[in-house]
Structure 1
């Protein structure tokens, strides 16, 4: 294991480097104030920022908020390499993009003079803590630290405050074909689904089936296990419990209240079935009476 003390120090001293800026206002121990205002055109994005996806709707909403209230949380920057009059983003790219949309000419910043490694650590930690990264972006950020700064998985786990197994499982997603990774990035496929695909013979076909049929994580895990053991995958898929969405559960409750009996709805892409369970002939007679009326 790499025992570089600077790596361990960042894990404990992150708050000192970027302050308390990314906590909700009501949770902050002390107010966060900007050190200066910088012209927006003097700031460039960090090309190593692991976050690559920025939802248009979210940016539009944030831009409108900035027009009305200004930038509440300052962004974090460092001096731009080879250009002392300009700055490079460390944390807050979403706020920076939305500020440009809002028509701001300058933006409040907190300046931190850190190297590439620490800037990348801060960007990853900030985004992971805020759940702003999809699993592929998170994995690519970890891989950058491994490739460019000689981190081990144990180093990463300590610095970002996650378990070693979380780091390992996240990195394994990079073994999936690019088409499957794109589905994860777009939000069509969850990380839980994707982890089960890693050991499957045809992960692309299974990923398409997951999206098409709405398979649950448990169903995919059962299919992966069946494939590994040479069993019939169709049997495994049917045996795995189906996770119902909130709308289906609400409709089941509504029908149960109306009939006074247990109702199960099993919906598929093309049709489905409604089951009403009764425990006596009297209840069956009641169901028939209500259907006829």
Structure 2
């Protein structure tokens, strides 16, 4: 065992490690490839665990590394053991996914959005601008606490803050459920289409997402063209309803009727 800042590193028996349902799905093919690399070069980065009940451990990060060791029939795995709250563990679990480079646009947006969501839950003070200090700090801003989650994630991943902000905006607008529904659609890896979907009214957004997920349409613009992108009648103002009805009646009238109507309107004016 080796002590490290925030915890310790040790060889932990695979039989003592529990995998939670929160961890992302396992890609067996990726685990097989990783097993070949570990068998040849060894494990480069330890997995992350947190202590559980009855001398057991809960996996926080390293699902594929753990599976690779199972494939190699190893009895133990090098692990970094840390005391973590549920919120902290969830942030680290999601963070591992954020760093992947093989994600589709939707997978990346979900990972970023869930990470920021968990970070906000773990740090509620951010909603109020953070800890602005007191008489002991001289009113100085607490930089770490005031850092926005998109700023932190941009620093961690090397991506621009703007790109992180855009991902969070899409996640907030569409929600995890809609993104999951669209994961196998033709716009799953098209960020511009996802942004276009966000610009629709909420009711239209949901209807469009369902149509795209069912592959009835290939793009947001195709869906808009098909449905006319009109607001529901109950959202129209009285004036808009009147104009809509007048336009319909005018189109149905014969030319003589329309001419007579215009003469009568002209006399009243």
TM-score scaled by length of structure 1: 0.51
Residue pair 1:43, 1:89 contacting (<8 A) in 2 also: yes
* 1:129 CA displacement: 2.4
In 1: Cα distance, 2:210 partner to 2:122 partner: 30
Residue pair 2:14, 2:76 contacting (<8 A) in 1 also: yes
Please list, as runs of the form range in 1=range in 2, the aligned pairs for 1:184-199 lying within 5 A after superposition.
184=183, 189-190=188-189, 192=191, 193-198=193-198, 199=200
In 2 relative to 1, CA 88–176 (structure 1 residues): closer, same or farther, beyond 3 Å? closer
Match of 2:93 among 123, 134, 142: 123
Please list, as runs of the form range in 1=range in 2, the aligned pairs for 1:151-230 lying within 5 A after superposition.
152=127, 155-161=148-154, 162=161, 163-174=164-175, 177=178, 181-184=180-183, 189-190=188-189, 192=191, 193-198=193-198, 199=200, 200=205, 201-209=207-215, 215=218, 220=219, 222-223=221-222, 230=229
Q: Which residue of 1 aligns with 2:59?
A: 89
In 2: Cα distance, 1:185 partner to 1:87 partner: 34
In structure 2, stretches of 5+ residues that fail to align are: 130-146, 155-160, 231-269
Q: Which residue of 2 aligns with 1:40?
A: 14
Q: Which residue of 2 aligns with 1:113?
A: 83
* 1:170 CA displacement: 2.5
In 2 relative to 1, CA 113–175 (structure 1 residues): closer, same or farther, beyond 3 Å? closer
* 1:76 CA displacement: 1.7
For the pair shown, the structure with the greater C-alpha radius of gyration is: 2
108-117 or 143-152, larger mean C-alpha shift: 143-152
* 1:187 CA displacement: 8.7
In 2: Cα distance, 1:57 partner to 1:112 partner: 29
In structure 1, stretches of 5+ residues that fail to align are: 1-15, 19-33, 232-293
In 1: Cα distance, 2:22 partner to 2:215 partner: 34
TM-score scaled by length of structure 2: 0.54
* 1:17 CA displacement: 6.0
In 2: Cα distance, 1:228 partner to 1:156 partner: 38
In 2 relative to 1, CA 145–45 (structure 1 residues): closer, same or farther, beyond 3 Å? farther
SS at match of 1:119: helix
Q: Which residue of 1 aligns with 2:41?
A: 69
Measured on the aligned residues, the alpha-carbon RMSD in Å equals 3.8
Q: How many residues align?
A: 188
